[in-house]
Amino acid sequence: MATEGRTVAQTHLPSNFTHRLLWTLGAKDNKENNRFINAQIRCEGGTAKWNPLNSTMRLSGSYSWTEEKNYNTTGVCNYRYGIAGVCATALTFNLRDYQGNLLFPGLLADFKAGTKTAEQIVNDNIAEIKLWGTNPDLMLQVLKSMP
């Protein structure tokens, strides 16, 4: 689908992003996981195209910070299609360090188990949320305003 002429609000958040992300991760698509992701989206801010969690995962079809269509200098990518943003975000959650250890194992486990509140997920995974680049204290404040 062409995106020319659309506003930032129409191209930042792919439709059904939280549901599609959770499905791609093999996680529970429940209220609390959706609350967590929506709170993280609000805290991340930004306007990167089809990239509400500001992933830096480069995919074919993405524009990196070295190209003319850059988003920022930290490497947050713009994606040409909504599904590319969903897949890049899922791949980011599955990143591993040089020793093969997952960078976000607690978040993935909590999403897949689907038994915690969004607030519990934040409190149990502060270091991972900070590694992503999101402020966990701000997430807890945002969650207070979300039913």
Kindly report, residue by residue over 19-42, the tens digit of the pLDDT.
Answer: 999 999 999 999 999 999 999 999
Mean model confidence pLDDT for the chain: 88
CB 106 within 8 A of CB 125: yes
d(CA 14, CA 81): 8
What was the pLDDT predicted at 49? 86
The answer on pLDDT for 69 being more than 80 is no
At 17, phi and psi to the nearest 5?
Answer: -55, -50
The answer on pLDDT for 10 being more than 70 is no
Q: Could you tell me whether strands 78-79 and 62-63 are parallel, antiparallel, or unpaired per DSSP bridges?
A: antiparallel
Higher pLDDT residue, 9 or 16?
A: 16
pTM: 0.88
Q: Which of 66, 8, 35 is nearest to 145 (CA)?
A: 35
What was the pLDDT predicted at 1? 39
Band of residue 68 on the pLDDT scale cut at 50, 70, 90: very low
Give the HSE-up count for residue 22: Cα atoms under 13 Å, Cβ half-sphere. Answer: 20
CB 119 within 8 A of CB 143: yes
What was the pLDDT predicted at 64? 52
Q: Is 84 exposed, middle or buried (0-12, 13-18, 19+ CB in 10 A)?
A: buried
Q: Which of 52, 59, 44, 53 is nearest to 11 (CA)?
A: 52
